[in-house]
């Protein structure tokens, strides 16, 4: 119908990312104001403010059970939050510069990382903070990454005009998707 049910206000700067909880009616938003907020879509109200990063939150994602949310920030940290309490549970990774966390599935975090001579995606263990694998192949910057809903495949989008699909277990590229005339900024 195109009817607007709720307008959420509360961030003091631009909202740059959002994620829907797969198990409830919660929406999470991440902002340039260094916070993330949890919103109840049915009630139209703010549930919690997640504060702890010292720079903009540029990505966030719920886990598959919906009880945790992970945030990535320009302060080069990744945090895991309890959805029920809104409290930070774990500061996982202090990342070097030019690293952006862009996707999470279960206990695996995917982040794009500049690496010579090509741009790569790294997979990290969300509990230990150790790197598990590096996925290479793009000729220019990786702009987006996502897992499928089962966590079996990982897709990447690149400024080189291609998208790639990797097997999350074997880390092998199983498809290269070409045909765009310019960069691909999002993949889902």
- In sign, the C-alpha dihedral spanning 10, 55, 98, 128 is negative
What's the pLDDT band for 22 if we cut at 50, 70, 90? confident
Q: What angle do CA 72, 117, 131 make, to 5 degrees?
A: 40
Q: Domain residues of the chain, as ranges?
A: 15-101
Task: Annotate 141-185 with DSSP letters as a single string.
Answer: -EEEEEE-TTSSEEEEEETTS-EEEEETTT--EEEEE---SS---
pLDDT, tens digit, for every residue of 108-149? 566 555 444 347 788 877 666 677 888 888 888 888 888 887
pLDDT, tens digit, for every residue of 48-67? 999 999 999 988 888 878 88
CB-CB contact of 150 with 166 (8 Å): no
Mean of the per-residue pLDDT values of the chain: 83
pLDDT, tens digit, for every residue of 3-18? 888 899 999 999 988 8
Q: What is the pLDDT of residue 5?
A: 85
pLDDT, tens digit, for every residue of 76-111? 788 889 999 988 876 765 554 444 545 555 545 665
15-101 in CATH: which number? 2.40.10.480
């Amino acid at each position: 119908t195109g009817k607007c049910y709720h307008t959420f206000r509360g961030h003091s700067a631009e909202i740059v990312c959002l994620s829907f909880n797969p198990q409830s009616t919660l929406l999470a938003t991440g902002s340039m104001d260094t916070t993330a907020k949890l919103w109840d879509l049915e009630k139209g109200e703010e549930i919690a403010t997640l504060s702890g990063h010292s720079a903009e939150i540029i990505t966030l994602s719920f886990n598959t059970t919906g009880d945790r949310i992970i945030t990535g920030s320009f302060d080069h940290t990744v945090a895991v939050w309890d959805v029920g309490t809104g409290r930070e549970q774990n500061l996982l990774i202090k990342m070097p510069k030019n690293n952006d966390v862009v996707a999470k599935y279960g206990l695996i975090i995917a982040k794009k990382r500049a690496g010579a001579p090509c741009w790569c995606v790294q997979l990290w263990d969300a509990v230990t903070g150790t790197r598990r694998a590096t996925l290479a192949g793009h000729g220019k910057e990786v702009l987006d990454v996502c897992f499928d809903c089962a966590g079996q495949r990982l897709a990447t989008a690149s400024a080189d005009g291609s998208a790639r699909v990797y097997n999350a277990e074997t880390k092998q590229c199983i498809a290269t998707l070409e045909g765009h005339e310019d960069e691909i900024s999002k993949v889902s």
